[in-house]
Structure 1
Amino acid sequence: MEATQYWLGVDGGGTGTRVVLADARGVELGHALGGASGLALGVSRAWAAIEAACAQAFESAGLTLDWAHSALGCGLAGVNNRDWLAEFVASAPKLAALDVQSDAYTTLLGAHGGEPGVVVAVGTGSIAAVLDRDGSSNVAGGYGFPSGDEASGAWLGLHAVVHAQRALDGRVRPDAFSDALLARMGAGDRDGLVVWLCEANQTAYAALAPVVLDHRTHPVAAALLAQAGRDIAQLVDALDASGQLPVALCGGLAAPLAEYVPDSHRARLRAPLADSAHGALTLARRANAAAAQGSGGAA
């Protein structure tokens, strides 16, 4: 086995990819942002986005992407689908080591520094995870769009669209909120909206979440945001019925949704120590150590 020179931590979701590059001592060398790499969008697309972002991270450090001497840790949305995960691992380039876990797990590693705690990740999708005091881990939610991912950007967008539909055909009075939703979708009439709906995926619906937040005082938007807060509390309770563990709200919607978490749970919120990409960097380090011992490292 060739000597590992670099660790790469990748956080991949339905909206974007974040990469942290470090040397074999753990000294951070570069960072990058890239396109979506959640597995629901396709394994080929995921690898293309990850490779582009990793190349950018190397470039930011004045280096050239070097898969063969890199240990790669990935926290990806969609790995709970075992077929997607198997295809992703089988499609990997030649690496010094590889470990692929859910983005919930890498978020958990980053948020609490490997210590016991709960995370609720709310971005394009959503999922919650816990690391118990005995070292065991479990998840709640994360069943995916459109049936799951409560409190996520895609969930907010999916439900907000209903208001735009009703306003467009006169079931409710058109207002600034419905107008803003239709403008974001580029739909000026019923036919245009139907075209958008037929083509929309999780990422497209998540792009409507900022419109919901911009109109948070509107009764429909306010009700959606309040429900999102209750859903976050329910995810926490499912993983920590005792109510004793610290909770980190993570992801792109963490800051705006924190105020909607019920008072009973908001007091337990703490800022994450690090992000999912840094949690994935921990995976890369562990995978490299395992590979060095001859025990593999791929998920």
Structure 2
Amino acid sequence: MNRPNSPAARPGLSPATAPLNQVRYLVGVDGGGTGTRVRLSERSGRILGQGESGPSALGQGVEQAWRHVQEALALAAVQAGLAPLDLSQVAIGLGLSGANLIEAVAEFHAQQPGYALVALDNDGFTSVLGAHGGRPGGVIAAGTGAVGEALRADGSRVCISGWGWISGDEGSGAWLGLKAMRHAQQALDGRAVPGALARAVWAVAGQERHTILAWCAKAGQHGYATLAPLVFEAAPDDGVARAFLAEAVAELESLARALDPSEQLPLALSGSIALRLREKFSGNMRARCVEPQGDSADGALLLVRSALNSEPGV
């Protein structure tokens, strides 16, 4: 079986376009739907500079992704005091949202502007690599949405949840917000007893049927996620809110067990919901939670370094 750090196991690894023994710089990219962060290092590993630009999620377009990666890299080079880089001397690793879109990945590689080597994976996996320094471990990300990814001890990879806020993402902010809104609607109908949580939702969306319907019609994932803090705030005085938080804990623990049935891998948490619920997790899961060693851009640097080192003759 191919291990995840081998070129054959990583469909986003492109053929080398220049002699890899001439590579002087490594670049790590964390790119999503709201922004792109780039970290530039010497081949030895010393960090030289960082830069940021607009979104580079592949689902938003390959041309945009490369444009923003290049803009962020240019800023990192300026911060490092370097002249514009000769891309034939640069190997780049990217953790991009949407890197599971096969056609977009192929187009992304076809449009690469001349890097000596391009290693591409999804931003969830580079988050795992960064959080655990390339060693086995898992990441549970629960903020607006929820997803878990892990690199297991046998070298296999797994992704759990992340199905989107309408049908999944249990334990996320949008999921909690949906539950809060349903409760507020039921309380307005007289199907539930109004408490602190229902009143807090009414304060946001109104206490009339037409205002609540109008709010829901335009809320979207982000809008529902803005209701999640109300659940935490109401919990001390509202049994319904406390029950919702207990359900969120159970969902995230279920996600963690699916990531690692042995319940032995270290876990890094990210996202506002996961971090706020950390102290409510069961003893075993709480004991396995560790502070991340690095972020997705660090993981992308590890990704490209692994790809570079695996090439023959380098």
Pairwise TM-score range, normalised by the shorter structure: 0.7 to 0.9
CA distance in 2, matches of 1:288, 1:208: 45
CA distance in 2, matches of 1:38, 1:206: 21
Letter paired with 2:50: H
Which has the higher mean CA deviation after the structures are superposed, 246-255 or 215-224? 215-224
Question: What are the within-5 Å matches in structure 2 for residues 284-299 of structure 1?
Answer: 284-289=304-309
Report the alpha carbon displacement of residue 214 of structure 1 after superposing the two structures with TM.
4.6
Among 248, 251, 254, the alignment partner of 2:268 is 248
Please state whether the residue corresponding to 2:280 is helix, strand or coil.
coil
**What's the counterpart of residue 265 of structure 1?**
285
CA distance in 2, matches of 1:51, 1:183: 45
**What's the counterpart of residue 37 of structure 2?**
18
Q: Cα distance 1:289–1:245, how it changes in 2: closer, same or farther (>3 A)?
A: closer
Among 224, 236, 248, the alignment partner of 2:244 is 224
Report the alpha carbon displacement of residue 234 of structure 1 after superposing the two structures with TM.
0.9
Question: What are the within-5 Å matches in structure 2 for residues 168-183 of structure 1?
Answer: none
Report the alpha carbon displacement of residue 66 of structure 1 after superposing the two structures with TM.
3.8
Report the alpha carbon displacement of residue 232 of structure 1 after superposing the two structures with TM.
1.6
Letter paired with 2:32: G
**What's the counterpart of residue 71 of structure 1?**
91
Among 302, 309, 313, the alignment partner of 1:282 is 302
Q: Cα distance 1:25–1:227, how it changes in 2: closer, same or farther (>3 A)?
A: same
1:132 matches 2:142: no
**What's the counterpart of residue 127 of structure 2?**
107
Contact map agreement 1:10 1:20 (CA 8 A) in 2: yes
- TM-score, reference length from structure 2: 0.73
Q: Cα distance 1:247–1:194, how it changes in 2: closer, same or farther (>3 A)?
A: same
Runs of 4+ in structure 1 deviating by more than 6 angstroms, as ranges, are 167-176, 182-185, 187-193
Q: Cα distance 1:85–1:204, how it changes in 2: closer, same or farther (>3 A)?
A: farther
CA distance in 2, matches of 1:164, 1:49: 42
CA distance in 2, matches of 1:76, 1:277: 10
Gaps of 5+ in 2: 1-17
The two structures, once aligned, show a CA RMSD in angstroms of 3.8
CA distance in 1, matches of 2:175, 2:108: 26
CA distance in 2, matches of 1:200, 1:173: 24
**What's the counterpart of residue 147 of structure 1?**
167
Contact map agreement 1:70 1:95 (CA 8 A) in 2: yes
CA distance in 2, matches of 1:32, 1:228: 35
1:80 matches 2:100: yes
Q: Cα distance 1:214–1:16, how it changes in 2: closer, same or farther (>3 A)?
A: farther
Among 18, 25, 47, the alignment partner of 1:28 is 47
Q: Cα distance 1:116–1:177, how it changes in 2: closer, same or farther (>3 A)?
A: same
Report the alpha carbon displacement of residue 107 of structure 1 after superposing the two structures with TM.
1.8
Contact map agreement 1:19 1:53 (CA 8 A) in 2: yes
CA distance in 2, matches of 1:179, 1:238: 36
Aligned length: 293
**What's the counterpart of residue 5 of structure 1?**
24
CA distance in 1, matches of 2:109, 2:302: 18
Contact map agreement 2:180 2:197 (CA 8 A) in 1: no
Letter paired with 2:277: L
CA distance in 2, matches of 1:196, 1:120: 30
Please state whether the residue corresponding to 1:121 is helix, strand or coil.
strand
Which has the higher mean CA deviation after the structures are superposed, 105-114 or 82-91? 82-91
Contact map agreement 1:14 1:124 (CA 8 A) in 2: no
Letter paired with 1:29: L
Contact map agreement 1:117 1:132 (CA 8 A) in 2: yes
CA distance in 1, matches of 2:235, 2:67: 36
Which has the higher mean CA deviation after the structures are superposed, 283-292 or 142-151? 283-292
**What's the counterpart of residue 3 of structure 2?**
none
Which has the higher mean CA deviation after the structures are superposed, 47-56 or 133-142? 47-56
Deviation track 1:99-158 (CA, whole Å, cap 9, x = no partner) reads 121222212212222222232223443322232322222222233343233323343344
CA distance in 1, matches of 2:281, 2:245: 9
CA distance in 2, matches of 1:160, 1:188: 14
Letter paired with 1:125: G
Contact map agreement 1:8 1:71 (CA 8 A) in 2: yes
**What's the counterpart of residue 297 of structure 1?**
none
Q: Cα distance 1:167–1:5, how it changes in 2: closer, same or farther (>3 A)?
A: farther
Deviation track 1:58-103 (CA, whole Å, cap 9, x = no partner) reads 3433446647243221223333343443444444433222112122
Letter paired with 2:291: A
